Chains A and B, each alone.
Chain A
């Protein structure tokens, strides 16, 4: 069941060596027999604002089909690179949503099967999901000021495992291969 999947991934990313491919299969088999959630967040928050931090709360824009605009005030996951947060005027953030209020297949969501949704399989915080499809820019200085005044607070920072998951989902969300028709339409140089 897993073998074809791993072979498929290897074909998507030719840089994966056959050795890595085979090792992944055996690693996965072990994971299957014992797999359960584990921590994705640090117990101590990282100082300052960093990539992956979850803060409360920011106003996200939702636009309905007829163009009506809505404001969704919710926690946010900072997606900008930590270095860019320090230097740029704006940063990118995505809304963090309560999965119990979303009309979506929870099993698919919790298994991270949706490209645009990032679910942290954390052992404590089990009901939140980041929607990468609704990311928006915000003024960094305004957020920093609100953090200082306490109007916004930092809820979590990611630990390294959570951080790896964040970058992997960002990679998959933005850089998975396009379908063959689109690729062929681009032509060759």
Chain B
């Protein structure tokens, strides 16, 4: 098994085996789970250490500020302004 097959076999993503005996994820339509379960299991499967559901978080105010500034730096002023 190569690495991606191993990862698939460890995870709980539904897998199928093709004619060459290679594992691959089953089509989404074959997934007999709720979206929350899909989300949960995919999070586990895909992120390993990162654990997207629990350790995920919003930006802190400071992070949001810095992130937004870096976005603005990438963008071009249009000369338009929204009046609040």
Contacts and interface: CB of A to CB of B under 8 A. Distances in A.
Interface of A: 2, 5-6, 8-9, 12-13, 15-16, 20, 23-24, 27-28, 30-32, 34-36, 38-39, 60, 62-64, 66-74, 97, 101-105, 110-116, 121, 134, 159-161, 163-165, 167-169, 171-172, 175-176
B45 A27 contact: yes
Interface of B: 3-4, 6-8, 10-13, 24-28, 34-59, 63, 66-84
B25 A160 contact: yes
Contacts of A35: 7, 48-49
Nearest to B48: A35
B69 A103 contact: yes
A57 B11 CA distance: 34
27 contacts: A2-B51, A8-B54, A9-B54, A12-B53, A20-B41, A35-B7, A35-B49, A62-B71, A64-B72, A97-B71, A101-B70, A101-B74, A102-B70, A110-B50, A111-B49, A112-B47, A113-B56, A114-B59, A115-B58, A116-B59, A167-B28, A167-B35, A167-B42, A168-B43, A168-B46, A171-B35, A171-B38
B4 A39 contact: yes
B38 A5 contact: no
